[in-house]
Amino acid sequence: MGSTQAIWIKDPLGILAEGADRGIVVRDGRIVEKVAAGATPSTEAAVFDASDHVVLPGLINTHHHFYQTLTRAVPAAMDRELFPWLQALYPVWARLTPEALELGVTVATSELMLSGCTTTTDHHYVFPAGLEESVDIEVAVAQRLGLRVLLTRGSMNLSQRDGGLPPDSVVQDEDTILADSERVVAKYHERGEDAMVQIALAPCSPFSVTTSLMTKTAELAGKLDVRLHTHLAETEDENKFCEQLYKCRPLDYLENCGWLNARTWLAHGIHFNASEMKRLGKAKTTISHCACSNQILASGGCPVCEMEEAGVGIGLGVDGSASNDESNLMQEVRAAFLLQRARYGVGKVSHKDALRWATKGSAACVGRPELGEIATGKAADLALFRLDELRFSGHGDPLAALVLCGAHRADRVMVAGKWTVIDGAIPRLDVAELIRRHSAAARKLQAG
């Protein structure tokens, strides 16, 4: 395959990179050159005039549940904490169909892309009868849109009759889960720095899976060399559940199951104590901070500064659209900044920290060091924002304006050197028709 023409993303209004005042050159899916102030590229390249754009590394979403776009702002689940919130929604999710899931995934991924996201994870753990090929559906949507994904084969096998939280209708047995986990890894997991589709294994949480499944999933991930993901330390209720059922705290349980290692990233990480944070840092286990969801469910807030001081990597996740009610990663950056600034004060958290969590920090969560940074040799995954809306009028620092003034829509997005969003739209995606079909599917699902 021959080399493609290079593109000079020229003279940006602002860029999250040192020594790239005049922009960057991309070719063959990689950043091949940073162009310093007063310099010109050494590479012959077509020009993209970025003088009206602020350029970021593509944002990376480290925790989501795509299907939940079908259950946003559901009255029965509003104003509830996590456990009763889940109990209100499980029966609705049990009615998911392949067609509804495909629409839910398309809405979630489109919304993410339009917010500047170039790589996303998903945690799909609901497998009612007829939805056995959920991961296959997600892969097809991601490939159609050109989004880089780390899709997790989630699972639940501890239902209400066994002392767990979910109803019988949404769980599977251990053998089925492990066999399908192996199937989707073999079929879809790509390796190397150019990978567009990767698979991880993700039992849902300590209160919805058995110890046997947790342990065997960790063993399988080691054998297949893929990453591990789960929810942990999201609420005090979860701590109490673990202490009652397993006679230990959630992190002890995780370690007992063979999960406390560099393969694992965890969603939320709110209720860890100081010694547990040190253990996480030593193990190189990372955390996905989900600021909006944590605030809506009143779960608490991830102690990001203590975490980072203990050596724990922090990324950002929008979490499911039934608890966040949106899939906008740029808005998540602002929410994380505001939440943590209020907690720690001016001297400890800046807008640059929030941008770092959503880029380089998130890249560590997904095990992709070639992503999340504008540097020579890194992937050409970029998000370009214009500052020509009312919300930005009068701004000073363009990078700070993205976070402080509330950017929410990218004008251009590039994944692996290809434009996937142009002029604030996804080419060939009929958004009005998608909304019509998705809304109809959501109404049907919620009505029962």
The conformation of residue 325, written as its DSSP 8-state character, comes to: S
State residue 322's pLDDT score.
Answer: 86
State residue 321's pLDDT score.
Answer: 86
State residue 3's pLDDT score.
Answer: 74
Give the CA dihedral 206, 266, 203, 120, nearest 10 degrees: 150
**Gap between the Cα atoms of 17 and 218, Å rounded:** 37
State residue 263's pLDDT score.
Answer: 98
Q: Could you tell me which residues are beta bridge partners of residue 382?
A: 57, 414
Per-residue pLDDT of the chain (448 residues; tens, 9 = 90+): 467 899 999 999 999 999 999 999 999 999 999 999 999 999 999 999 999 999 999 999 999 999 999 999 999 999 999 989 999 999 999 999 999 999 999 999 999 999 999 999 999 999 999 999 999 999 999 999 999 999 999 999 999 888 888 899 999 999 999 999 999 999 999 999 999 999 999 999 988 999 999 999 999 999 999 999 999 999 998 899 899 989 999 999 999 999 999 999 999 999 999 999 999 999 999 999 999 999 999 999 999 999 999 999 999 999 998 899 999 999 999 999 999 999 999 999 999 999 999 999 999 999 999 999 999 999 999 999 999 999 999 999 999 999 999 999 999 999 999 999 999 999 999 999 999 999 999 999 999 7
Q: Could you tell me which residues are beta bridge partners of residue 152?
A: 123, 200
Q: Could you tell me which residues are beta bridge partners of residue 155?
A: 203
State residue 4's pLDDT score.
Answer: 83
For residue 353, the Cα-to-chain-centroid distance in whole angstroms is: 17
For residue 338 the two structure tokens come to: 């505001």
At 220, give phi and psi (nearest 5°). Answer: -65, -40
3-state secondary structure at position 93: helix
**Gap between the Cα atoms of 390 and 227, Å rounded:** 42
